[in-house]
């Protein structure tokens, strides 16, 4: 029995430890990142059983990614190497402490050739949750079909769907994003969504109105992620779950994925929704205190000490 399944592209992230244009850097080092694998690593560090499916290029970057994710204890049995394209890359350029440029080299990557055949050996009845992001369906037509097939098989097997829209306007048009993200939202059991994304999808700004608008069926749960303000949980009624104060934000990237991992961990542990969101808030607060998407993801020891003591920095 496996707890959670997630499908998506992971890239090697190259980052310099110097501030300024990459034109002038003399040192650049690789990390990995991808919303779905960030989420999977978050869950694995908390001791959950999670599988990540992807297609990697047949290159050194692909094997670097696989080794790191496998090393975190994530199940990767159905992740394959392919000659259809290279592993996707991303370069981060910290021009000034406040200005970050991101360059993607992911078009026609191996992962963009993922297709529903990747699911051939997956027994959905073994899983409790399917985690879906809005990134995978944006990568290509075959990736969209893969996403919809995974959702269909999950529904047939009573696997609950956790959806984070993770909107990436660099990957598709606003019109297409709007259409597909609504299509998936309608089919999801839990929608974990950033406030800006909810504004885009609902054309509303009031938090209660946004939640009501996304709440298309009575057993759905909407969770609005609101940065320092924490989260709002809506299951017919709106509950505010305050965030944890953070003194110094080192790197805000990855907070949303970390929140999702914490929330899902709470669900797997049978916690109430409010407590799930509190765990999500703690995960987000811990991740933004370290550089990188995954570096700050805690083990359960660190997480539960943080939750009990409400200390601001504990890693």
Residues that bind ligand ATP (CB under 6 A): 194, 225-228, 230-231, 243-244, 246, 249, 253-256, 259, 280-281, 284-285, 288
Q: For ligand ATP, give the closer residue by CB, 74 or 241.
A: 241
Q: For ligand ATP, give the closer residue by CB, 32 or 226.
A: 226
- Asked whether the beta carbons of 16 and 30 are under 8 A apart, the reply is no
Q: For ligand ATP, give the closer residue by CB, 15 or 281.
A: 281
d(CA 217, CA 221): 9
Q: For ligand ATP, give the closer residue by CB, 102 or 249.
A: 249
Least distance (Å) between residue 51 CB and ligand ATP: 22
Residue 257 appears among annotated catalytic residues: yes
CB count within 10 Å of CB 85 equals: 19
Token pair 């297709």 is found at 115
Name the region of 292 (left: φ>0; alpha: ψ -120 to 50; beta: rest).
left
Least distance (Å) between residue 79 CB and ligand ATP: 23
Q: For ligand ATP, give the closer residue by CB, 194 or 292.
A: 194
Least distance (Å) between residue 271 CB and ligand ATP: 16
Least distance (Å) between residue 77 CB and ligand ATP: 28
Residue number of the CB closest to ligand ATP reads 284
Looking at 257, 293, 301, 314, which residue is catalytic? Answer: 257
Sign (positive/negative) of CA torsion 116, 117, 119, 123? positive
Least distance (Å) between residue 66 CB and ligand ATP: 24
d(CA 257, CA 192): 10
Least distance (Å) between residue 115 CB and ligand ATP: 26
Adjacency order of strands within the sheet including 238-241: 50-53, 4-7, 129-133, 160-164, 190-194, 221-225, 231-234, 238-241
Least distance (Å) between residue 84 CB and ligand ATP: 28
Q: For ligand ATP, give the closer residue by CB, 245 or 270.
A: 245
Q: For ligand ATP, give the closer residue by CB, 90 or 226.
A: 226
Catalytic residues: 257
């Amino acid at each position: 029995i496996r707890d959670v399944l997630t499908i998506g592209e992971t890239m090697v992230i190259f980052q310099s430890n110097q501030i300024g244009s990459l034109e002038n850097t003399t040192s650049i080092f690789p990390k990995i990142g991808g919303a779905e694998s960030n989420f999977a690593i978050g869950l694995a560090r908390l001791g959950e059983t999670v599988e990540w499916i992807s297609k990697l290029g047949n290159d050194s970057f692909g094997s670097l990614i696989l080794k790191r994710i496998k090393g975190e204890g994530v199940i990767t049995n159905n992740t394959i190497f392919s000659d259809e394209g290279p592993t996707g890359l991303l370069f981060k350029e910290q021009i000034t402490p406040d200005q970050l440029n991101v360059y993607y080299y992911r078009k026609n990557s191996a992962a963009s050739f993922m297709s529903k055949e990747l699911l051939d050996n997956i027994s959905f009845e073994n899983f409790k949750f399917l985690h879906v992001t809005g990134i995978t369906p944006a990568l290509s037509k075959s990736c969209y079909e893969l996403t919809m097939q995974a959702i269909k098989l999950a529904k047939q097997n009573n696997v609950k769907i956790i959806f984070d829209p993770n909107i990436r306007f660099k990957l598709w048009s606003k019109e297409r994003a709007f259409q597909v993200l609504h299509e998936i939202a309608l089919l999801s059991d839990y929608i974990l969504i950033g406030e800006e994304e909810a504004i885009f999808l609902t054309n509303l700004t009031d938090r209660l109105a946004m939640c009501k608008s996304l709440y298309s069926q009575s057993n759905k749960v909407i969770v609005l992620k609101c940065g320092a303000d924490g989260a709002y949980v809506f299951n017919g009624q709106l509950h505010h779950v305050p965030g944890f104060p953070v003194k110094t934000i080192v790197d805000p990237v990855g907070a949303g994925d970390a929140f999702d991992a914490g929330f899902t961990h709470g669900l797997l542990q049978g916690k109430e929704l409010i407590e799930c969101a509190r765990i999500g808030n703690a995960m987000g607060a811990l991740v933004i205190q370290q550089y990188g998407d995954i570096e700050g993801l805690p083990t359960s020891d660190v997480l539960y000490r943080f939750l009990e003591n409400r200390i601001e920095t504990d890693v």
